[in-house]
Amino acid sequence: MGMTLTEKIVARAAGRQTVEPGENVWVDVDLLMTHDVCGPGTIGVFKREFGQDAKVWNREKIVLIPDHYIFTNDERANRNVDILREFAHEQDIQYFYDITDRADFKANPDYKGVCHIALAQEGHTRPGEVMFGTDSHTCNAGAFGQFATGIGNTDAGFIMGTGKLLIKVPATMRFVLNGDMPSYLLSKDLILHIIGDISVSGATYRTMEFTGTAVEQMTMDERMTLCNMVIEAGGKNGVIAPDSTTLDYVTSRTKVPFECVHSDDNARFFSDRYYDVSQLEPVVAKPHSPDNRALVRECRDVKVDRVYIGSCTGGKTSDFVNAARLIQGRQVKVPTYLVPATQKVYEDLFTMKLNHQTLSEIFLASGCIEPSAPSCAACLGGPKDTFGRLNEPEVCVSTTNRNFPGRMGNKQAQVYLASAYTAAATALTGFITDPRDFLT
């Protein structure tokens, strides 16, 4: 019997020829990522268990990224970033993407933005490798054909000291997405559709492997959206087999060698689900769960107070390009918040053009609020002064990934998760709107 892509990566990292789903194995870690929210806790565990003067196992395999609560006057949030900075200097950590000057992030070449997209853009997401991060959306990196998953501070502290972790091998659920993507559909619609089918616990501790002709046609931005949200179905990791699209992206960003891995033809999958994407329609996840799926056209009477385009899920360059396609030459009817995931995405807003206008010019001419500094911003609520935070019980259509009560701030707020197309169409009417109303 062959192995799946994930089983092969885990086997290699465990120094084994084969592994079986359900087995517990020790794996060697290729990369550990932590950020300002969980980094201080991880560092605390590391120092408590390995000693105040202990050295990390490998200063070149740890990435520290402040990204969550950084553009705020909240003293405790700022202290978290200071702890990361002190630790990075003490340990001479190679990859510390600091936000040294909160007032002018643009002048700071070290600052990158939201960890999951920054990791990809800085060449840290490589096929065949094992990455752990103290953030549940670390699964985003599975888009590059690697094993990537979120862990808690205790596991991360242990990895800091040893470079190893004991994990159970997940069984793989395969999702075969075939057909031509309709012009009004984005991969956000596909993953919301799948989560609606299998529920928020439908892939608990399993791998979600995406394959099929629709996936092969996708850009890396779109593949990341699929893998980013597997945790919303309880998935341990998401994964897409590396191909020429992957290699073009990765090799233009890193010289580090890596080895591509693919599922064997005779691999054993826990389940197979088939989708003809050409038959699917735009969907939203209604409050208060990512599996509370509805067709966008069934929600036309839902009046919204604001639209939010941002996060590691829906704040990538392609998300803003797609939103701009609908918004160009029109006026938004509700406050529309734009939060680029990373510094690179932010720069793209001011350099990429559609019909001779930069994305930023398109958004500003349409009445959108000026794009904010790149960060997690209101995706996770955050301190009261966070850009875009839902401080009132408002209704928001958002390109983020979670809509639990209070996720974006106020516990009575209602968040509808949607694609960048649906978010843009909604901004133009003030009601949840099917992008087909504007895309010809």
Interface contacts to ligand SF4, rule CB under 6 A: 68, 114-116, 135, 137, 311-312, 376, 379-380, 400-401
Residues in a beta bridge with 247: none
- Among residues 401 and 429, whose Cβ is nearest to ligand SF4? 401
Residues 320, 90 contacting (CB under 8 angstroms): no
**Distance of closest approach, residue 169 Cβ to ligand SF4, in angstroms:** 26
For strands 353-354 and 357-358, give the pairing.
Answer: antiparallel
Whats the size of the chain, residue-wise? 440
DSSP letters for 240-295: E---HHHHHHHHTT-----------TTBPPSEEEEEEGGG---EEE-TT-TT-EEE
Amino acid identity, position 59: R
- Among residues 34 and 246, whose Cβ is nearest to ligand SF4? 34
Residue 153, both tokens: 């501070």
**Distance of closest approach, residue 309 Cβ to ligand SF4, in angstroms:** 12
Q: For the chain, how big is the Rg over CA atoms in Å? A: 21
Q: ∠ at Cα 135 (103, 108), nearest 5°?
A: 25
Q: How far apart are CA 264 and CA 93, in angstroms?
A: 37
**Distance of closest approach, residue 375 Cβ to ligand SF4, in angstroms:** 8
Axis crossing angle, helix 220-228 with helix 244-251, rounded to the nearest 10: 100
**Distance of closest approach, residue 26 Cβ to ligand SF4, in angstroms:** 28
Query: Which residue, among 160, 128, 129, has the nearest Cα to 39 in the 3D structure?
Result: 160
Query: Which residue, among 30, 2, 4, has the nearest Cα to 241 in the 3D structure?
Result: 4
Contacts of 101 (CB under 8 A, 6+ apart): 107, 108
Residues 362, 342 contacting (CB under 8 angstroms): no
Query: Which residue, among 294, 263, 59, 246, has the nearest Cα to 174 in the 3D structure?
Result: 263
Query: What's the per-residue H, E or C state across 131-173?
Result: EEECCHHHHHHHHHCCEEEECCHHHHHHHHHHCEEEEECCEEE
Q: How far apart are CA 190 and CA 196, in angstroms?
A: 10
- Among residues 159 and 376, whose Cβ is nearest to ligand SF4? 376
- Among residues 69 and 210, whose Cβ is nearest to ligand SF4? 69
Residue 302, both tokens: 């839902």
- Among residues 263 and 322, whose Cβ is nearest to ligand SF4? 322
**Distance of closest approach, residue 172 Cβ to ligand SF4, in angstroms:** 24
**Distance of closest approach, residue 135 Cβ to ligand SF4, in angstroms:** 5
Map tokens 């329609």 to a residue: 281
- Among residues 241 and 380, whose Cβ is nearest to ligand SF4? 380
- Among residues 359 and 379, whose Cβ is nearest to ligand SF4? 379
**Distance of closest approach, residue 193 Cβ to ligand SF4, in angstroms:** 20
DSSP 8-state symbol, 77 = H
Q: Phi first, then psi: give them for residue 103, nearest 5 degrees.
A: -75, -25
- Among residues 407 and 436, whose Cβ is nearest to ligand SF4? 407
**Distance of closest approach, residue 30 Cβ to ligand SF4, in angstroms:** 20
Q: How far apart are CA 152 and CA 378, in angstroms?
A: 22
**Distance of closest approach, residue 314 Cβ to ligand SF4, in angstroms:** 9
- Among residues 4 and 401, whose Cβ is nearest to ligand SF4? 401
Q: ∠ at Cα 293 (174, 394), nearest 5°?
A: 135
- Among residues 78 and 217, whose Cβ is nearest to ligand SF4? 78
**Distance of closest approach, residue 149 Cβ to ligand SF4, in angstroms:** 14
- Among residues 207 and 400, whose Cβ is nearest to ligand SF4? 400
**Distance of closest approach, residue 380 Cβ to ligand SF4, in angstroms:** 4
